Every structure is written in structure tokens, then in C-alpha cells.
Structure 1
Amino acid sequence: MALTVSLVVLAGIAVLVLLRTGYLRIWPALAAVLFGFTLASTGIAPAISGAISSVAGWISQLG
């Protein structure tokens, strides 16, 4: 749960910065999509959350 809240805050900050600077490229678009799916909790959101958790677990095992 703490990872999800932190990810939402980080993604929200990233989206705000990217909107203010006016960039519209692939990475800002992906950040906006991630932020939207995390907040929306649609039918596909659990799959995305699972993928994010898997990646976070994989990264934590590297260190």
C-alpha cells in the first residue's frame, strides 16, 4: 500500500511538471497513463498494479 501511494504522488508530480513545461513525448504520455490507471481503479488497474509491484520487487532484489 505504501508503494502505491508513493507511486501516485511521484506520478502526479511528474505529470504536473511535464504539463507545465509543455513537453508531449512518449515518456510524459506514459507517466500520465500510469497516473490515470492508478487513480481510476478500472478493470485493468489490478493488472497494472500487479506489474508495478512485480517490477518494484525485482528492483528491490537487485540492491
Structure 2
Amino acid sequence: MNVADEYRAWARELQVRARELGDAAERATDPEQRRRLKDKARRATEQSERANRMDAHDADPGGQ
């Protein structure tokens, strides 16, 4: 597995985690717990997006 494949796999895992956290936030009855779960989901989504950008950058032979 090369670096680009690792970034893609990591991004997919983060996307799944973000979706699970978002779903859990929707089910949460406690407002504070809902907020924490939404924050975690947002951070996981942001990390996934960064991993996708790193993958795209790594896959570009020119580094752009």
C-alpha cells in the first residue's frame, strides 16, 4: 500500500466516523451531549477533507 492509498483509507475511516457521530448526535437527548457529538463529527469531517487533500497532493507528480 502506498502513501496515497493510506490517505484514502484514512479519509474513508474518518468519513464513516463522522457519519456515525452525526447520527449519534441526532439521537442524543441531552443538548450538551448533542453539541459534543456534533463537534466531534465536524472535526472528523475536517480531518477527512485534509486527508483527501493530502492524497490528491501526493498523487500529483508535480506536487501541486
Q: For this structure pair, what is the TM-score category when the shorter chain's length is used for normalisation?
A: 0.3 to 0.5
TM-score using structure 1 length: 0.44
Instruction: Return the structure number with greater relative CO, CA threshold 8 A, min gap 6.
Output: 2
TM-score using structure 2 length: 0.44
Task: State the structure with more CA Rg.
Answer: 2
